[in-house]
Copies of this chain bind each other. A is one copy, B any other.
Amino acid sequence: MTAAKHDVFQAIADPTRREVIRLLSKKELPISEISAHFPISRTAVAKHLRVLSEANLVKGQKVGREKIYRLQPEPLGEVKQWLSYYEQFWNNKLSILKHVVEKEDDNEESIKMIKTDKQ
């Protein structure tokens, strides 16, 4: 089920939908709270949520009279996989590492773990 009409690439193409994703990454929210963050109508937001839902990026659950949406980030893996092929062409893998390393407290540990894993 969960229709295949929209794929993840299309789903993330819209800035509003990316912002919805960002909001939901912080915490699950009902539609009305989500739409409070946008200048557009609740109905319009609901439509974006349907697109996200069709791409399985989001899942809504009815709770009382509300419908709570939460992020399901797994489909982003497809994008990542697609991207990974092109990394060889602009070769800034260092910046990826840098990003991760600079943002983490336990990065030394992570790196060690992998290195150990390799032996």
Contact = CB atoms under 8 A, between A and B. Distances in A.
14 contacts: A9-B13, A12-B82, A18-B82, A76-B90, A77-B91, A77-B95, A79-B79, A93-B104, A93-B110, A94-B113, A96-B96, A96-B100, A101-B118, A108-B115
Copies of this subunit: 2
B89 A25 contact: yes
Interface of A: 9-10, 12-15, 18, 21, 25, 71, 73-74, 76-77, 79-87, 89-102, 104, 108, 110-111, 113-115, 117-118
B110 A111 contact: no
B77 A99 contact: no
A9 B17 CA distance: 11
B111 A97 contact: yes
Given A18-B9, A96-B96, A114-B97, A76 B80 contact: no
